[in-house]
A and B are shown apart, each in its own frame.
Chain A
Amino acid sequence: MTTFETVIGLEVHLQLKTQTKIFCACRNEFGHAPNTHVCPVCLGLPGTLPVLNRQVLLDAMKVGLALNCQINDFVKFDRKNYFYPDLPKDYQISQYDFPIAKNGFLDVVSNGNKKRIGITRAHMEEDAGKLIHDAENACSLVDYNRTGTPLVEIVSEPDMRSAEEAYDYLTALKLTLSYLGVSDCDMEKGSLRCDANVSIRPVGQDKLGTKAELKNLNSFSAVKKAIEFEVGRQTGLILSGGSVVQETLLWDEAKGRTLSMRSKEQAHDYRYFPDPDLVPFTLDVAQIDRVKKDLPELPYAKLDRFMTAYKLNQYDAFILVQDPALADFFEACIKIYPDSKKLANWLNGPLMKELNERKKVFAQIKLLPLEMTELVRKVEDGVVSNLVGKDILGIVLSEGKSVESIIQEKGLAQVSDDTVLEKVVDEVLADNLKTVAEIKGGKTGALGFLVGQAMKKMQGKANPKKVNEILTRRLQND
Chain B
Amino acid sequence: MNLFELTVHQILDQIKAGKISASSVLAEVSARAQTLNVKTNAFVRLFPSPEIKAGPCPVPIAIKDNICVKGELTTCGSKILKGFKPPYDAGVVDKIKASGGLILGSANMDEFAFGSSCETSAYGPTRNPWALDRVPGGSSGGSAAAVAAGQALWALGSDTGGSIRQPASFCGVVGLKPTYGRVSRYGLIAFGSSLDQIGPFTKDVTDSALLLNIICGFDERDSTSLNVPVPDYTKALVKDINGLKIGIPQEYFLDGIEPDVAAAVKAAIEVFKKQGAVVKHISLPHTEYAVATYYIVATAEASSNLARFDGVQYGLRAMPPNLRKSPLIDMYEETRARGFGDEAKRRIMLGTYVLSSGYYDAYYLRAQKVRTLIKQDFDKVFSDCDVILSPTSPTTAFRIGEKINDPLAMYLSDIFTIPANMAGIPAISVPCGFDRAGLPIGLQLMAKPFAEETLLRAAYAYEQNTPWHLERAVL
Contact = CB atoms under 8 A, between A and B. Distances in A.
A313 interface: no
A91 B307 contact: yes
B284 interface: no
A197 B181 CA distance: 43
B223 A279 contact: yes
A452 interface: no
Contacts of B90: 47
Contacts of A51: 220-223
Given A45-B314, A46-B189, A83 B307 contact: yes
Interface string B312-335: 111000000000000010001000
Contact of B188 (A47, A85, A88, A273): A47
Interface string B236-263: 0000000000000000000000000000
Given A47-B189, A48-B187, A40 B352 contact: no
A269 B304 CA distance: 13
Interface stretch (B103-111, B354-362, B433-441): B354-362
B307 A81 contact: yes
A27 interface: no
Given A83-B307, A273-B364, A277-B223, A47 B356 contact: no
B87 interface: yes
Contacts of A279: 223-224
28 contacts: A40-B88, A45-B88, A46-B68, A46-B74, A46-B76, A47-B88, A47-B186, A48-B187, A49-B222, A49-B224, A51-B223, A79-B304, A81-B307, A83-B307, A85-B310, A89-B307, A89-B308, A90-B307, A269-B356, A269-B357, A271-B304, A271-B355, A272-B355, A273-B355, A273-B364, A276-B224, A277-B223, A279-B223
B182 interface: no
Nearest to A268: B357
A44 interface: yes
B186 A49 contact: yes
Contacts of B187: 47-48
A445 B247 CA distance: 112
B180 to A, nearest CB: 10
B221 A49 contact: yes
A52 interface: yes
A43 interface: yes
Contact of A276 (B88, B193, B303, B312): B193
Interface of B: 66-68, 74, 76, 81, 84, 86-88, 90, 185-190, 192-194, 220-224, 300-301, 303-304, 307-310, 312-314, 328, 332, 352, 355-357, 360, 364
A141 to B, nearest CB: 11
Given A79-B304, A271-B356, A277 B86 contact: no
A276 B301 contact: yes
A50 interface: yes
Nearest to B226: A279
A352 interface: no
The 9 closest A-B pairs by CB, nearest first: A90-B307, A276-B193, A276-B194, A271-B355, A47-B187, A46-B189, A47-B68, A47-B189, A269-B357
Contacts of A277: 190, 193, 223-224
Given A40-B87, A47-B74, A271-B360, 10 more contacts: A46-B81, A51-B223, A79-B304, A85-B312, A88-B308, A88-B312, A91-B304, A271-B357, A273-B355, A277-B223
Of residues A43, A79, A91, A271, which shows the largest number of chain B Cβ atoms within 10 Å of its Cβ?
A: A271
Interface in A277-325: 277-279
Contacts of A46: 68, 74, 76, 81, 84, 86, 189-190, 308-309
Contacts of B308: 44, 46, 88-90
A244 interface: no
A138 to B, nearest CB: 10
B360 A273 contact: yes
Contacts of B81: 46
A91 B190 CA distance: 14
Contacts of B88: 40, 45, 47-48
B435 to A, nearest CB: 37
Contacts of B360: 271-273
Nearest to B307: A90
